Amino acid sequence: MTNLVDKFGRKVNYLRISVTDRCDFRCVYCMAEEMTFLPRTQILSLEEIHRIANAFVDLGVKKIRLTGGEPLIRRNVITLIEKLGQMPMLDQLVMTTNGSQLEKSAPLLKQAGVKRINISLDSLDPERFRNLTRTGDLSQVLNGIDAALGQGFDSVKINAVILKGRNDDEILPLIDFARAKGTDITFIEEMPLGNISEHQRDECFMSSEAVREVISSRYALNPITHSSGGPARYYRFEDSASKVGFISPHSHNFCGDCNRVRLTAEGRLLLCLGNEHSVDLRAVVRSTDDDAVLRQAIVDAMGLKPEQHYFDLQDEPQIVRFMNMTGG
């Protein structure tokens, strides 16, 4: 039972941790081409992240997702993962990764206690994959996906962001890829986080509904009540075990049953993806060794959780932080 309840009665039992703001990719919807990353002194140490995670689990958090930036490029991150994997009160340790390092990391993650992995994949065409990620090598990611599948995680899921005119012709190929691999796949609507240069977010926006229509042109989809404890709504095929999820921050506001908060790489506890309400937990851990003070700061922070987010694609982004800061 969680001790973390906000003023709208929502129970918070899920923490997403951005373990680094850095990344080996520069996906066009996530980052600018030239990025300035945080200096190391401003980033939480692995020990500080562990301490904060511990406090959350003491307060009743049952699920932690490690994300970033790219979590697997943080040096020695596996030592943190091993410690988190040993927390008896934590039910689910999961990760979102771009897959570039998975070929070598997958066995270590499995041993360390990671239960489920989400891998981002927006294109199956090497050249387009390179264009969308600006630096990524598709074959590395495909090998990473196979390595993860070989480890027998509870689930390996593909995440795809579809942009009209850039990769909307890959919806069906990505679906067929997921079906062939026996994985689930989730389509995420692009969110206006940070100022990007390569495309107009409103012109490229593709709603979950539009993606679902494309899939339905080939495969019948039936809605199901399955929940992975996150914001996705799921559908299943009639002839495959793979499920299709949709995360629709624009077209289907999921704030009413939000159970999540986010810890940024610099130790800011963000109460909502689409708002700036936050508490500086780095200041707390750097000012006291008393975990009771840390737990109280977290409990108090729940009072700041806003009721919902508002995204508007046409205006200047209201949220100037990029997704790699937020920990998507």
Applying CB under 6 A, which residues contact ligand SF4?
A: 23, 25-27, 30-31, 68-70, 98, 120, 323-324
Instruction: Give SS3 for 285.
Output: helix
C-beta of 25 vs 311, nearer to ligand SF4: 25
- Residue 191, binding choice from ligand SF4, ligand SAM, none, Cβ under 5 to 8 Å by partner class: ligand SAM
Kindly give the residue spans of alpha helices, DSSP state H, lying in the chain.
46-58, 77-85, 102-112, 126-133, 138-150, 171-181, 201-204, 208-216, 281-287, 291-301, 323-326
Query: Least Å distance between CB 128 and ligand SF4?
Result: 14
Distances (CA, A) of 52 to 163, 245, 296, 307: 36, 30, 12, 24
The answer to whether 311 and 274 have CB atoms below 8 angstroms apart is yes
Report how far residue 6's alpha carbon sits from residue 276's, in angstroms, rounded to the nearest whole number. 16
C-beta of 20 vs 228, nearer to ligand SF4: 20
C-beta of 221 vs 265, nearer to ligand SF4: 265
- Residue 193, binding choice from ligand SAM, ligand SF4, none, Cβ under 5 to 8 Å by partner class: ligand SAM
Query: Least Å distance between CB 270 and ligand SF4?
Result: 16
Query: Least Å distance between CB 125 and ligand SF4?
Result: 17
| Interacting residues toward ligand SAM by CB under 6 A | 23, 29-30, 67-68, 70, 96-98, 120, 159, 161, 188, 190-191, 193, 323-324, 328
Which residue is at the shortest CB distance from ligand SAM?
A: 328
Backbone angles phi, psi at 67, to 5 degrees: -150, -160
Instruction: Give SS3 for 204.
Output: helix
Query: Least Å distance between CB 164 and ligand SF4?
Result: 18
Kindly give the residue spans of alpha helices, DSSP state H, lying in 116-248.
126-133, 138-150, 171-181, 201-204, 208-216
- How would you class 248 by CB atoms within 10 Å of its CB: exposed for 0-12, middle for 13-18, buried for 19 or more? buried
Query: Least Å distance between CB 27 and ligand SF4?
Result: 3
C-beta of 147 vs 188, nearer to ligand SAM: 188
Nearest to 15 by CA among 30, 25, 2: 2
Query: Least Å distance between CB 110 and ligand SAM?
Result: 18
- Residue 26, binding choice from ligand SAM, ligand SF4, none, Cβ under 5 to 8 Å by partner class: ligand SF4
